[in-house]
Amino acid sequence: MNSNYHMNVTIKSAEDGLGLRERKKLQAMRHVQLTALELFEAHGFDPVTIEDIAKVALVSAPTIYRYFGTKEGLVLWDEYDPLILQALREQLRSSSLGDAMREAIVRYMDGTVEASRLLRRMRLVESHAGLRAAVAANLRVLRSEMANVFVDSGACRDPLEAEVAAGATTTALEIAVEHWARAGGKWPLRRFLERSLRLLRRFAEKTVQERAGRKAGTHR
């Protein structure tokens, strides 16, 4: 599969169901992000300004602030996070929590995420402390949104259980992507995602078995 085909499939997946205005906005945001990545890679993150990016991308600085909020947002923005949450919400209607996470996250990310762009973003994050802090804040937001999906779907009994499940899941995903990036993106991201979620599920099942064993021991 060549990169142009992969890019076309990815763009189509992210744009499915969007109106003309939303599609144009998404395309503009991709263009601005790619422009920013090129400038950051060439000159470093700190020296490049929003105004520099706007000039090269042929858009206004206020437009960039409106789309991304901050300079860090240009690196962190991921058009697929809302789509993955929606896929997770749909899977939970008919699947267990573990199966839903695998179907929604592994299969969805494997089919849509642009590996080259994600790898470039990860390399920038690894090289800059401010970006790493911004990623941590971004993950807290994703954890909260995922927890809401777990509660709304009835997959978790209460907000605490949902936050713990979402926290474990987002951490497992973060670690999977980090290991994939450290390997230079040479192997499919799916391999790392599947193993992380499989390990998470194994730990959860082991905990349940140990708890059941302790309960059985108290009744002897």
**114 residue type, one letter:** E
SS3 category, 46: coil
Q: Do residues 143 and 166 make contact, with C-beta atoms less than 8 angstroms apart? A: yes
Q: How far apart are CA 159 and CA 138, in angstroms?
A: 19
The more confident residue out of 16 and 143 is 143
Residues 187 and 87 in one domain: yes
C-alpha 42/C-alpha 37 separation (Å) is 8
The predicted-structure confidence for 122-163, as pLDDT tens digits, reads as follows: 999 999 999 999 999 999 999 999 999 999 999 999 999 999
Same domain, 50 and 22: yes
- Where a domain ends, among 55, 75, 95? 75
CATH number, position 146: 1.10.357.10
> Which residue range(s) make up the domain with 107?
78-218
The enclosing domain of 35 has a CATH number of 1.10.10.60
pTM score of the predicted model: 0.78
Any idea which residue has 């490049």 for tokens?
48
Task: Calculate mean pLDDT across residues 86-95.
Answer: 91
**Residue that finishes a domain, picked among 20, 47, 75:** 75
Same domain (yes/no): 91, 21: no
Average pLDDT, the chain: 84
Residue 47 has pLDDT above 90, yes or no: yes
Higher pLDDT among residues 69 and 18, named by residue: 69
Cα separations (Å) of 164 from 1, 60, 159, 208?
A: 38, 41, 9, 15
- Mean pLDDT for 162-176 is 93
